[in-house]
Amino acid sequence: MRSYEKGLWLLILLLTAAVVYAVFFLVPPAMGLGSLVRIAFFHIPVAWVAVLAFLVSAWYAVRYLRRPSARFDAFSAESARLGLIFVVLATLSGAVFSKLTWGSYWNWDPRQTTIFVLLLIYAAYLTLRSVIPDAHRRARVAAIYALFSFLTVPFLVFIIPRFYFSLHPAPVINGSGSIDMDPVMLKTLLASLLDMTLIYIAVLYHRVNSERGVHHET
């Protein structure tokens, strides 16, 4: 492991410890949710990173289509895989919150329904990659699929759920147009978002470099 990677993981470790401490010892109970609000400091960051990962996958897909490169394909594929993992984590944490709040793990709430569709789309992406034996054709077809798949993400995550009644709690916006949140909560949430983003970046580069290292050895 290179020195900058060690430094990144040390930063992640320290930031994770700080976030965990803040969530369990500094964040006050939320009105109407009580201590259940702590789940949000995991659920929101993993959902954010899932969207980021799919965006990065589409970005490298575009780069591959413009100038085919095994590294671009590797970044697109690994980012999509990580995005799917983070979507699963967001789904599971959301299901736990749903059970504790509304008495059922799954209610086919608009946000639950759209995230399920997103799971199917990117599960199909990984399946597609696994059934095409030729590396160049696999990379090109997967890049096209990744690009068009990401076009559905803004609609499934941000737009469609807003057209229907949802049990999912929405952020409270004050008169100035900003989110009305306790300052400690907001700082903790931002720290958790940064922490989860750094984890994604570190794992992505590690997986891409490891995969390419194996290919070079063979």
Distance CA(209)–CA(128), nearest Å, equals 23
pLDDT at residue 160, rounded to an integer: 87
User: With contact defined as beta carbons under 8 Å apart, do 115 and 97 qualify?
Assistant: no
pLDDT at residue 163, rounded to an integer: 78
Distance CA(147)–CA(60), nearest Å, equals 9
pLDDT at residue 211, rounded to an integer: 74
pLDDT at residue 177, rounded to an integer: 45
Domains in the chain: boundaries: 3-160+180-217
pLDDT at residue 1, rounded to an integer: 64
Residues 6+ apart with CB under 8 A from 75: 56, 57, 60, 204, 208
pLDDT tens for the chain, residues 1 to 218: 677 788 999 999 999 999 999 999 999 887 666 788 899 999 999 999 999 999 999 999 999 999 999 999 999 999 999 999 999 999 999 999 888 888 889 988 888 899 999 999 999 999 999 999 999 999 999 999 999 999 999 999 988 887 776 666 665 544 454 456 788 999 999 999 999 999 999 999 999 988 765 454 33
pLDDT at residue 121, rounded to an integer: 97
User: With contact defined as beta carbons under 8 Å apart, do 40 and 189 qualify?
Assistant: yes
Distance CA(170)–CA(157), nearest Å, equals 13
pLDDT at residue 102, rounded to an integer: 81
Full 3-state SS string of the chain: CCHHHHHHHHHHHHHHHHHHHHHHHHCCCECCCEHHHHHHHHHHHHHHHHHHHHHHHHHHHHHHHHCCCHHHHHHHHHHHHHHHHHHHHHHHHHHHHHHHHHCCCCCCCHHHHHHHHHHHHHHHHHHHHHHCCCHHHHHHHHHHHHHHHHCCHHHHHHHHHHHCCCCCCCCCECCCCCECCCHHHHHHHHHHHHHHHHHHHHHHHHHHHHHHHHHHHC
pLDDT at residue 181, rounded to an integer: 74
What count of residues does the chain have? 218
